[in-house]
Amino acid sequence: MSAVKQQDRLAVSDSPLDGRTEFPPVDRHALAEKFRRFLNPDSVLTDDETIRPYECDGLSMYCEMPQMVLLPETVEQVQQIMRLCHAEEVPVVARGAGTGLSAGAMPHAGGVVLSLAKFDRILSIDPAARSARLQPGVRNLAISEAAAKYGLYYGPDPSSQIACTIGGNVAENSGGVHCLKYGLTVHNLLSVEVVTAEGDRVTIGSDGYDSCGMDLLALVTGSEGLLGIVTEVQVKLLPKPEVAQVVMAGFDTVQRAGDAVAGIIGRGIIPGGLEMMDGFAIQAAEDFAHAGYPTDAQALLLCEVDGTREEVQDHIHQAEELFRELGATSVRTSGSEAERALLWKGRKSAFPAVGRISPDYYCMDGTIPRSQLAHVLTEMQKLSEQYGLRVANVFHAGDGNLHPLILFDANVPGEFERTEAFGGDILNLCVEVGGSITGEHGVGMEKIRQMPNQFGNLEVSQFHGIKQAFDTRGILNPGKGVPTLRQCQEYRAIGPLQTPTATGDGGASHG
């Protein structure tokens, strides 16, 4: 019997390992007083106006008000919070900078938000070992800024790196424009310190590049706050390359740009970054950043090569030659560090740039095989016409991580629902061509309805088994990441175009 058929045999009522959705009612006043016994009273927020900013993360169409927000200052306080919440069965949602784009940090109505905002210190940098110890609230960009004096930097660079935190990066396994060569967060970690649901303090990983036993570091990375609260992170640092240059190539079709992506990898060149934008995104980014993008192009590639001067010179020459052979309408190579930074500014500004030309937008996140780029973009254009909604495509072409931006107006009745259905179809398309419903934004609440399309009941039950091993009472970020088996049954029965809308006010999202 095939694996798929075995998965489908597991009935909803057969599994003892299923996600918890119900919790005892909370007496807000009594619970707050218990927290104030060991937290600064000003760090226990309970009035609605003060906690309103915590009702959502960067995906603001999914909103929920928590019972309260807690802002501890020490690991010991985090442990006490978890012990109390575990004893009283109170749901806990950990929160960093709130820049996530999958509603992974949306509060639970019957629980508390545990903010790590005050954990913002760089504890140490070891230039000899090329590593840094950090509290989870340290901003991604701040790591490279602090390491620069040693000629080092931190590799993963999400577009939100000026604001997003390393704790959130661990929770979502974030990537960035340079993840093709230097990897995602999981590839740049040495260890994490975690406070468990019961309040125990454990270290996963080690100072070395390998640890004894099972690879729990990889399991915790990307677990979206379902398995523990990250209180310290040790990351690898990289030496700054001698030279880095960007080749920008414009193409008159997406197909030719997709062929160029395959061509670069096929020649054995692993770029530091290989990004693609379609015509709509090119125009929006150029109007915003004035980077000199060819606005007449239908697709744009940014290919960065770094390394020694001789290596970069050789690879840049090969890239320019290949792009021209494959029909590039324009080819331009950065001649200075300032020009290289400007070309990347346009790409990293794409999200806010699109926000200037539409009242709202919905940023999707799916991953596909590189060979399917042109096909998937063609199909997305058909879906765009079907739903009557514009879409701008900005993505990590080198590793097939798509970021379609669906433009809509939340003030138009029914338009958000159409947008959500459009996004669901894009994720289903990713699965159909052999990809995944997420690359670096996580599942959260946003993609939980697509989980049954990618995973069978047996796999979902195994996910819940892992969750239960770490969190016996199911209090950590409940309802996110993995649907219950009953939800799987309901979502499969409803179908992708009739999915129920999210809780909250249906507000706008500007990522």
Q: Is the pLDDT of residue 21 over 90?
A: no
Q: Is the pLDDT of residue 210 over 80?
A: no
Which of 163-177, 188-202, 368-382 is least confident? 368-382
Which of 95-104, 208-217, 357-366 is least confident? 208-217
Which of 94-108, 119-133, 396-410, 497-511 is least confident? 497-511
**How many percent of the chain have pLDDT more than 90?**
84
Beta strand 243-251 pairing with 122-126: unpaired
Q: How far is CA 444 from CA 305, 418, 435, 440, 450, in A?
A: 34, 20, 18, 11, 11
Q: Is the pLDDT of residue 501 over 50?
A: no
Amino acid at 280: F
Beta strand 401-402 pairing with 366-367: antiparallel
CA angle in degrees (0–180, nearest 5) for 148-149-150:
90
Q: Is 225 left (phi over 0), alpha (psi -120 to 50) or beta?
A: left
Please give the full DSSP string across 161-225, using - where no structure is assigned: TTT-BHHHHHHHT---TTHHHH--GGGGEEEEEEE-TTS-EEEEE-SSS--SSS-HHHHHTT-TT
Give the HSE-up count for residue 488: Cα atoms under 13 Å, Cβ half-sphere.
26
Per-residue pLDDT, 497? 45
Burial zone of 50 (CB within 10 Å; 0-12 exposed, 13-18 middle, 19+ buried): exposed
Burial zone of 247 (CB within 10 Å; 0-12 exposed, 13-18 middle, 19+ buried): buried
Q: How far is CA 393 from CA 28, 378, 405, 438, in A?
A: 44, 11, 6, 15
Per-residue pLDDT, 374? 85
**Cβ atoms of residues 134 and 90 within 8 Å:** no
Please give the full DSSP string across 208-225, using - where no structure is assigned: SS--SSS-HHHHHTT-TT
pTM summary value: 0.91
Per-residue pLDDT, 211? 78
